[in-house]
Amino acid sequence: MKKFLAIITLCLLLSSFTIGCERASLNRISKDVYYVQIKGEGTIEKVDDRNLRNYTLPAFNEDGVKKQITFRSTKKENNHKLNEDAFLRLYVDQDDNSKK
């Protein structure tokens, strides 16, 4: 009986660890992938006593289709400024156009 409980406990721990590691990947399901190159410093927006940067830049999907995308920097260093000329992969939800 002790062996059985040990095996069940080990399986539960392993499965919870696996689910926790895959959580970020679950947010990417059914999203379109776009690539963007950082140009400029973005616009600063004050949110909850923090200065955040919003970027509106042209982005391209894997087929080369261009789309204007607005996103916010969550980087905490350097006053939320992203590195100039850096390339980012963005996961874009189709419903994001209606969110503000």
For 4-62, the pLDDT digits (tens) are 889 999 988 887 777 665 666 667 777 889 999 999 988 888 888 777 889 999 999 99
Please report the pLDDT score of residue 13 as a whole number.
83
Q: What pLDDT digit, counting tens, does each position of 77-94 carry?
A: 777 788 899 999 999 887
Please report the pLDDT score of residue 99 as a whole number.
45
Q: What is the pTM of this model?
A: 0.66
Query: For every residue of the chain, which 3-state class applies, written as one string?
Result: CHHHHHHHHHHHHHHHHHHHHCHHHHCCCCCEEEEEECCCCCEEEEECCEEEEEEEEEEECCCCCEEEEEEECCCCHHHHCCCCCCEEEEEECHHHHHCC
Work out the burial of residue 34: count CB atoms within 10 Å of its CB; fewer than 13 is exposed, 13-18 middle, 19 or more buried.
buried
Please report the pLDDT score of residue 49 as a whole number.
78
